[in-house]
Structure 1
Amino acid sequence: SRARLLLQEKKSSLIHACFCSVFHLPPQDTQGPNASLYSLTLAAMDSMLQSLIRSAGTLGILELQNILQLLLSFANSQLAVVQERAIAQIARLVEFITTTYSLQQICPCFAQAIVPEHECFKTHQFVMLGKLVGHLTLYCTCKDKRTRHNAAEALHHLHTFTVQLLTWLCILRLLLSRDDALGDALGDKSPLLSFILQMFIKYLQPSDWADIILIAIKSLRAPSAYSIKVAALMVDILIANFAFQMGKVLNIVWTIYGNLPSITAVVAQKSLGRALRVLTNTHPTEVVSSLLHCSPTCNEVARTMWKMMFSEPQVARKVLRELLSMLMNQSLRKTSISIKDNPRILSLAATRTINEILLHPTCLQEVDAIFPQLFLALLFQISFTTELTLQEVQIFWKEHQEDSLTPIRAAVNAMKVLLRVMGFERHVLDIEAQGGWDALLSTQTHLMGVRIVGREMMKTQRPLRYTLFCLLVELLRVEDPTWEMVAMVFFMEVLGSIDFSEDLAHALELFPMYLQSQCVGMPVLVLRGILQLTERPTIARETLVLLPHVMEQLQGGDSDASAVALSVLSNMLQLMEVKASSSIALALADKLRPLFGDELNTVRQLSIRLFQDTMGLVVGAEKKKMKKEVWDSVLPLLLHLHDEDESVAKASQEALCSAGRFLKWRQLAELTEIAQAWSMCERLLARKKSKANDYLQQSQPYLQNPQESLRREAVRFI
């Protein structure tokens, strides 16, 4: 009666000591003269346990479960005598609680089928019911007759305790009327086992069934005190007939993974294979992600489990699609030091797994259906892997630190294997010959490697090229900094090999968004793609819809982008009708003048050349507006006659001649010597006295120009 004053930890320790002392008594101490003493000891222990439960009041269920948990630890002993005594104690304890307690007295809703809308307090819930049913069912298959008898009796009392139904007595009579009890009954396969599970089905929660299946899986290990066939049968029945919550699916996969190395019986391995396939069919995401968590580097145990799943085509298809999804889930916005919370590391695990399972016969049949998607996903994965932090690599690789394949090499190797198994051996060798695979391994040369791979893949059949084009268009519709640069580099290679029809419009729709991208090098890359298209006569005119977006690139401050944009605009102006080109030329002239002083020689030359072209394109009333732009450009062009780059100086001279003809200024049109530039500056001021302040402002930036010759001429002009 004083036991309730003890702390739970101290109480459990004392109870454990009692069980240990009594259950480990030598068998001879329970026979002959000592039998009476042994019986008195058991009676005293029963009395103590009953007092503990009674004194707990409304927490009696909680106290009962604490004691049962301790008893189960002894029931799992390798010593048959300890196991038999622990099971007998469980049977007596459950019998006591059945005859003394009514669960409705504690909480009327315990039998949740009666009052489903009410949820018991945790202290009133018999949460270990499933675990107890699973263990006792398996104990009914033990070799020891008395253990089987006690387990069957405990199941009877447990059922009565749960539902207070007398119909369970028929099972007890069946169990106890035969020498081999449940073990013999299960020799006829599953009828009785199914009956036991069905008797408890409406009283057990999903978590209880999960507990039972976890117990059954652990019982498949060799050596086992139970019948492995019965445990395997339990796994089959439970997996086939019950839906498990996501968290429980993860637990089941982890339990299979943890116990598989010790499971050698063929019947047990086949049962686990069936279980994995059923779970994967119903919960593909949970099963695949859980197994990736178990072994990110795909060790021998994980490979065995993947092969179990791949033995059925439908399941293999689902697994591959889940792996594909995880490969694409490389979000840079969510990082963590935990594998569970880091999709970047999980996508690495998916890559390694694909690398290991691609050669499986069933896998090969299904890979063909998703080859283009899988190919692109691996390509993006290679790029993403080059950006991994050292910490992430260490997290991923902690399981097999001695492995010779680094994450990046594993990703590249997976792509090689994929191409080979799909019949692209020649392409693999050609990429190798051009240094493509090595280039992919380095952040400095990675994009060059992507170009080489893309170029070689464009030598495949048109259906595959077209599919890759469509997939890339779809992917690039949404910006994702994780892989958009790699996707666009590859897309540029695709653009050069596709015979467009109506599909060109889908590609052109992408470019405005990526011309505005903050990703370094993206606008230049897109502009080069547009430039390629403007040079293809059959489709060049279609690119004119992009002209306003290309013109915006002249004001972005990126010299490399401006250089390509100028070439694109030059091509586009030649494609336009006269009237349209006139208005565009006028709008363009104002944007070109600031580029005359760009730090890049190419930009200075191209902008001056294009300005010269615009003067020849304006017609009608727009000529008058264009004159203002030309007058404003004369001084910068005169200064650039002294540009250190000869091509820029020459372009300036030719542009000034064109300007002279456009303005009908003969001396300017006949300008042939640089030495004449100074006199032309004086004449300019004489002709446009009203613009003296404007010219002064124009010349001032040249005082900071890196070229000494231009600074000197600006000073001279001022």
Structure 2
Amino acid sequence: MNPRSHRQKPNTVHFQLSTYHDFWNPNLQELRQSEREAYWLILEFIEQEHMSTMEKQNFLKAVEILSGAVRAKGNGNMNDYYPKATLARKIETLILEESTETLDNNVRQQAMLCVVALSQVNPPFYLSEILDLVSAGVSSMFSLPLIMPSLDRKDNASLYLQTTQALDDMLQALVMDNMDPNMLTLEKFLEIILPWLTQSDKVHEQTRALGTISRLLRFICNFSTLLHMEVFSMNGKLMGILGLFCMNSNHEISLGASEALHYLSKILVLQRSVRQKTVTILKNLQKRFRGEWFASMQNVTLFFKKYLTPVERADVIMVTMESLTSNRRDDIYAATKVLEMILKYSIPEIEKVPEIIQYIYFHMNSITETAAQNTIKKILQVLSQSYTDEVILTLFEIEDQSHKGACKPWEILASFPKGCEVIMKHLLQKLVPQQAPQDREPSQRTEISPLIATRAIHELLLESSQQMEVQTFFSSLFIALLLQTSFLMVEGNAEMMQDQRHVTEWVDPVSSTVEALKTLMHRSGYGNFESEIEKLGGWELLVNPERHYDGVTLLARSLVTKNCWHNRPIFSLLMRMLQDRNCANHFTALVFLMELLQCPDVAAIVDDFITHILANWFNCTEPATVKLLLKMTEVFTKHKNLERRLRILQPQVLNCCYSSSSDIVMEAFVVLKHLVEDLTWQNSSSFLIQLTFKLEPFFEEESEDLRLLAFQIYSHLLAKVKRRVLVFPLRHQILNLIVFLALHLQDVNFEVAQICRITLYNTAALLRWSKLRKVFAKEDVFTIMGALLQQETNKALWFLKQCVALFKSTQVPIRQAAVWFAGQILQILDAEEMSEIEEAYAALRHMKGDPDPMVSCLATQTIYVLEAKEKLLLDNPLTSCFCWRRPQRGYF
């Protein structure tokens, strides 16, 4: 068509303007006459507001001719002739001016093809210009009324098809960036087209949108390189929308969605699959092309798992969930089926978990269909098991921000027994964190604090309706919450409060943990048990920093008193924890254990392995722990099964007698006293004999309390000895200690002296010294020593050795008696025995320098007598004029 055919003569103004442009724009001189005329026509109509259909057609034809001329120049630029942006705005205006009620001309078609021509010349369109043109073209075409092919409207239908093809050509041309499609541009196109699909209630508009999307995706499938594919964010949303429309009751819509989904899947395969498998996958896709909705859902499920990123998977779920809140039952049904297909198998990694949870939280009440409700619950359950931290943290953030405790999500989480158990196990790991391997990199996933985990446990327990379900993890939860309380009370809650973003001001870590512990008991059927602890003040003790462990003891004692069924599982859990020497809160565990051991059911399951675990904790450097273990040892005498294992702990108790801590030593002797009182000779003879040899050094302890305990232990021990068992080495040790007993009748501690007299009497009875029993019971130390020496003269050197050991006593009366008795022994020795007294002689010389004058005087006199005896024996070996004599009254 000649662009000037509609008028025979140009007016004068037009002629002058053309001449002006020919002169000032030398580029026009390179154009052919027809191309220049097209240029002049553009100038004439570009500013014209009202144009007839013929004028619009001629203008668009002129733009197309000029675009062809510029493109033919190779490196031509439209702006050298006329601003391309101005032409784009004018074309957009022409499209928007067309009626949306009827299609009776080809202006739309020409305008879109004109855009195609302009897209092929420089400069490129700006993105805003592209989107304006696309928006105009889409709205102009999609909003047309339904046009059905018929004999009387054959030309109209043909024009519609041609115009639709022009729209496709325009979209395909504008999506290109040089030689490859730009996926970011496609994303913008989809944002314009999709509302016509998702928000319209007209079938023909939805069908047009699906067709346009399908053809555009099919076009992109022809390219191996797609620009910015890695940041294209519409894959998930688009797959979700198309999946839903594949199940539409309208066959045309379902078919269009299936085709579009097919081409989207093909793009993903080409871009993301392993090249060796691409051909096979594409063949399988082709088999399902235009298939039934079930085949399309299989594609959705397959691509959801293998070809979508975690963010895209979340988009699929979000888009589908939004349809659950629709007013149309068909939409709800479709969304339910899609989600069922996705949730049928394990869900791979997903992002945007907080957004999904927030949507569920705020829209749960608007979902009324039973199937939809079950599906939304299933989503919450699956996510809470795989992304527990993120789900729980999101729920608390919502509740804390809104200051209202909507319990529906917690009710749902607690309604699935198996799922709830998985969540509880995960939360328990947060309360009792496991040490991560050193070579493992830190996780980038959201992690909740122990405090948040405690609050979550509390919420789940409040919503749990089945007592038996709670009892399955009662033991683990009970121990974890108790140990967490101890940690907060002993170590302080600074670590717990470090993440202030997720802890509101009104949350008290200790109170929150104790409340969770109380709720656990209620939900497990121990309501009366919890009330009794309340009456006894156990909860107050538990949160009292100074008496916290009293509260732990009371709690454990109540379990034992009520013969709680969980005593044995709790005991087993604690023992597994204590196998690790780095166990946190081991002291709380041991305090609890000491009470549990008094439960007959618990005592019955203690074996050597368990006892060895406890024995290893004696190596702990904390005095409080060792003292607690010493007290625990006493419990082993209360049950026959425990008493058989006491042999494993006894060496540890004896080692504590030599601890550098005086408190531990004192506690060890208190325990030994109780052990000796409770043990029988028949079951513990080896230990009691060993203990007899361990006591000797402690008879001379400066601490009166410790010295008294040592003599009390020996006294109790001796009372258990029967004559039939009095054999070596026990008989030897009893004789080896008799001088200590006798001389400590002079002990400054009256109770020690009394214990020694009783023990001397029992010793005489045990050794069958009938004559000495009365002496030991009533006489003073000197009479006793003299009688002992007369009775057992053959043991004189043995007694002398014991006396010399007591020369180092810190008590003056004992040193005096020891030196005196040594002198008496030396007087009765014969010549052969005198050759063995070098050690005693040296000790006596040393005692001459004793700070006590009486001791020094006695030592000096004894040496004089000894020297005189030695001289006499040298002069007359058969003569001995010395005899035993008691010191004169007042000698000391």
In structure 2, C-alpha distance between the alignment counterparts of 1:649 and 1:70, rounded to whole Å: 103
Question: Is 1:308–2:412 an aligned residue pair?
Answer: yes
Q: Is the 8 A contact 2:656 2:664 kept in 1?
A: yes
Q: Is the 8 A contact 2:246 2:257 kept in 1?
A: yes
Q: Which residue of 2 aligns with 1:350?
A: 453
Tell me: CA distance 1:522–1:12, structure 2 relative to 1, closer, same or farther (3 Å).
Answer: farther
- Match 1:158 to one of 264, 268, 280: 264
Q: Is the 8 A contact 2:210 2:253 kept in 1?
A: yes
Shift, 1:378, TM fit: 2.6
- Match 1:436 to one of 507, 530, 538: 538
Tell me: CA distance 1:312–1:615, structure 2 relative to 1, closer, same or farther (3 Å).
Answer: closer
Shift, 1:412, TM fit: 0.7
- 1:185-217 deviation line (CA, Å, top 9, x unaligned): xxxxxxx43221224555664352835643434
Q: Which residue of 2 aligns with 1:690?
A: 839
Aligned pairs (5 A) from 1:254-293: 255-267=356-368, 271=372, 273-274=374-375, 276-277=377-378, 280=381, 285-293=385-393
| % same residue | 17
Aligned pairs (5 A) from 1:470-619: 470-498=572-600, 502-505=604-607, 508-534=611-637, 540=643, 542-573=645-676, 575-576=680-681, 580=686, 583-585=689-691, 587-589=693-695, 592=698, 596-597=701-702, 602-607=705-710, 609-610=712-713
Q: Is the 8 A contact 2:410 2:459 kept in 1?
A: no
Amino acid at match of 1:546: L
Question: Is 1:134–2:215 an aligned residue pair?
Answer: no
Tell me: CA distance 1:194–1:141, structure 2 relative to 1, closer, same or farther (3 Å).
Answer: closer
Amino acid at match of 1:440: L
Greater Cα shift, 552-561 or 257-266: 257-266
Q: Is the 8 A contact 1:130 1:207 kept in 2?
A: no
Q: Which residue of 2 aligns with 1:67?
A: 185
- 1:72-93 deviation line (CA, Å, top 9, x unaligned): 4555669959x98987764443
Tell me: CA distance 1:200–1:254, structure 2 relative to 1, closer, same or farther (3 Å).
Answer: closer
Amino acid at match of 2:839: S
TM-score, scaled to structure 2 = 0.57
In structure 2, C-alpha distance between the alignment counterparts of 1:377 and 1:255, rounded to whole Å: 30
Q: Which residue of 2 aligns with 1:235?
A: 339
Larger helix proportion of the pair: 1
Q: Which residue of 1 aligns with 2:878?
A: none
In structure 2, C-alpha distance between the alignment counterparts of 1:228 and 1:218, rounded to whole Å: 9
In structure 2, C-alpha distance between the alignment counterparts of 1:333 and 1:634, rounded to whole Å: 64
Q: Is the 8 A contact 2:681 2:688 kept in 1?
A: no
Q: Which residue of 2 aligns with 1:115?
A: none
Amino acid at match of 2:243: T
- 1:349-394 deviation line (CA, Å, top 9, x unaligned): 3322232232435443411334344333332232233356655433
Amino acid at match of 1:95: R
* Unpaired stretches in structure 1, ≥5 consecutive residues: 3-10, 108-120, 172-191, 704-708
In structure 1, C-alpha distance between the alignment counterparts of 2:535 and 2:846, rounded to whole Å: 57
Q: Is the 8 A contact 1:373 1:471 kept in 2?
A: yes
TM-score, scaled to structure 1 = 0.69
Amino acid at match of 1:620: F
SS in 2 for 1:18: helix
In structure 2, C-alpha distance between the alignment counterparts of 1:368 and 1:625, rounded to whole Å: 57
Tell me: CA distance 1:215–1:291, structure 2 relative to 1, closer, same or farther (3 Å).
Answer: closer
In structure 2, C-alpha distance between the alignment counterparts of 1:487 and 1:48, rounded to whole Å: 72
SS in 1 for 2:593: helix
Q: Which residue of 1 aligns with 2:497?
A: 394
How big is the alpha-carbon RMSD for the aligned residues of Structure 1 and Structure 2?
Answer: 5.8
- Match 1:620 to one of 724, 728, 746: 728
* Unpaired stretches in structure 2, ≥5 consecutive residues: 1-73, 76-122, 145-159, 270-281, 761-780, 789-794, 827-836, 860-892
In structure 2, C-alpha distance between the alignment counterparts of 1:301 and 1:142, rounded to whole Å: 38
- 1:88-134 deviation line (CA, Å, top 9, x unaligned): 76444313223x33x5xx69xxxxxxxxxxxxx99799997555322
Greater Cα shift, 230-239 or 657-666: 657-666
* Greater RCO (Cα-Cα under 8 Å, separation 6 or more): 1
Tell me: CA distance 1:43–1:122, structure 2 relative to 1, closer, same or farther (3 Å).
Answer: closer
In structure 2, C-alpha distance between the alignment counterparts of 1:12 and 1:296, rounded to whole Å: 51
Q: Which residue of 2 aligns with 1:110?
A: none
Q: Is the 8 A contact 1:140 1:149 kept in 2?
A: yes
Shift, 1:521, TM fit: 1.6
- Structure of larger gyration radius: 2
- 1:472-503 deviation line (CA, Å, top 9, x unaligned): 44444444532322222112112223267753
Tell me: CA distance 1:571–1:309, structure 2 relative to 1, closer, same or farther (3 Å).
Answer: closer
Question: Is 1:381–2:493 an aligned residue pair?
Answer: no
Shift, 1:437, TM fit: 0.7
Amino acid at match of 1:49: V
- Match 2:519 to one of 417, 424, 433: 417
Q: Is the 8 A contact 1:91 1:157 kept in 2?
A: yes
- 1:657-702 deviation line (CA, Å, top 9, x unaligned): 799669647999999x97634634755897887379999999x9xx
Amino acid at match of 2:686: A
- 1:399-441 deviation line (CA, Å, top 9, x unaligned): 45143x4121111111212222334333323322332111212
Question: Is 1:47–2:173 an aligned residue pair?
Answer: yes
Q: Is the 8 A contact 2:390 2:447 kept in 1?
A: no
Tell me: CA distance 1:166–1:579, structure 2 relative to 1, closer, same or farther (3 Å).
Answer: closer
